[in-house]
């Protein structure tokens, strides 16, 4: 009986809110990204977001006091290690242990760069 009660109490933070968060795809370190979620009208009006990777035992604050009704947020990611195994946690602004939702696991890739193509000024095209 005690084991069942303990399991129920551990699950309560997830049951109390009905947030669903999308699993990111194509995110790059230091890049600008958009995160989307859905929530019920009974969910808290604001929440916070952390980027988590257990491989290096660290979390990165992504956003705080996010309005639930927005359904999405665009943020600039910090420079983080290029790895797989990241998740996003949506949690109460007043208690990091009160987790509303977590994304599936995803990878963050290397920063994208663009390069200009330089034309050789000595290149001549034949005239017809």
DSSP secondary structure string, 37-88?
EE--TTS-SEEEEEEEETTTTEEEEEEEEEEGGG-EEEEEPP-----S-EEE
* pTM summary value: 0.73
Quick one: tokens of 24?
């990111």
Q: Cβ(49)–Cβ(63) under 8 Å? A: yes
Per the prediction, the chain carries an average pLDDT of 83
List CB contacts of 121: < 8 A, sequence separation 6 or more.
none
List CB contacts of 79: < 8 A, sequence separation 6 or more.
29, 30
Quick one: tokens of 98?
């009160």
pLDDT in tens, the chain (128 residues): 545 444 444 444 444 568 999 999 999 999 999 999 999 999 999 999 999 998 887 899 999 999 999 999 999 999 999 999 999 999 999 999 999 999 999 999 998 765 544 545 555 555 65
Q: Domains in the chain and their CATH numbers?
A: 2-102 (2.60.40)
Give the containing element (helix H, strand E) for 33: strand 32-38
């Amino acid at each position: 009986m005690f084991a069942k009660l303990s399991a129920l109490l551990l699950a309560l933070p997830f049951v109390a809110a009905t947030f669903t968060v999308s699993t990111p795809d194509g995110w790059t370190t230091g890049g600008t990204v958009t995160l989307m979620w859905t929530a019920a009208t009974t969910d808290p009006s604001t929440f916070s977001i952390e980027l988590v990777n257990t491989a290096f035992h660290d979390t990165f604050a992504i956003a705080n006091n996010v309005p639930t009704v927005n359904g999405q947020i665009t943020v600039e990611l910090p420079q983080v290690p290029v790895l797989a195994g990241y998740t996003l946690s949506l949690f109460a602004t007043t208690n990091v242990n009160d987790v509303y939702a977590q994304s599936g696991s995803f990878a963050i890739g290397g920063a994208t760069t663009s390069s200009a193509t330089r034309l050789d000024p000595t290149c001549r095209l034949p005239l017809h």
